[in-house]
Amino acid sequence: PASARVAVAARGLRAGEPLREEDIAWANRPVSDPADLFGAAAPPLGLASRAAIADGQPLRRRQLQTPLLVKRGAEARIVARQDGVEVNAAGEALDNGHQGETIRVRNLSSGKVIRGRVGPGGEIEPLD
């Protein structure tokens, strides 16, 4: 099979741990499914593994996901933005959420349950 320089684990990685630059090494490995691997142009920084990954093991797209930013039952910050105005409210997450996912959140002051999209910092942008 063909080989290519791909991202591998620079050390043993725990499940759910977001990847930092020092967690990624580069090595020549046989490639049977190039779409599942990461090349130097697109390293998997910030993604988290679904399960533990051994030192030197190739980092595969199907093994990685965006990290869990919002945990069910935890406090969540609801942030509504419109025309340069930002309104914040305290909420309780009713679902777990990764970046970009839609989850349910209870507004703690009104008690109303809304749907919102999880932003990069874990804030919830209302959709309702």
pLDDT tens readout for residues 2-14: 899 999 999 999 9
How many domains, the chain? Answer: 2
Distant-in-sequence, close-in-space partners of 26: CB < 8 Å, separation ≥ 6: 5, 6, 7, 8, 40
| Residue where a domain stops, chosen among 15, 33, 65 | 65
Q: CA 56 to CA 52: how far, in whole Å?
A: 12
Verify that 91 and 49 share a domain, yes or no.
no
Verify that 49 and 72 share a domain, yes or no.
no
| φ/ψ of residue 69, rounded to 5 | -100, -25
pLDDT at res. 16: 86
Summarised one tens digit per residue, pLDDT across range 21-68 is 999 999 999 888 888 999 988 899 989 999 999 999 999 999 998 888
Verify that 73 and 118 share a domain, yes or no.
yes
Question: What domain range is 8 assigned to?
Answer: 3-65
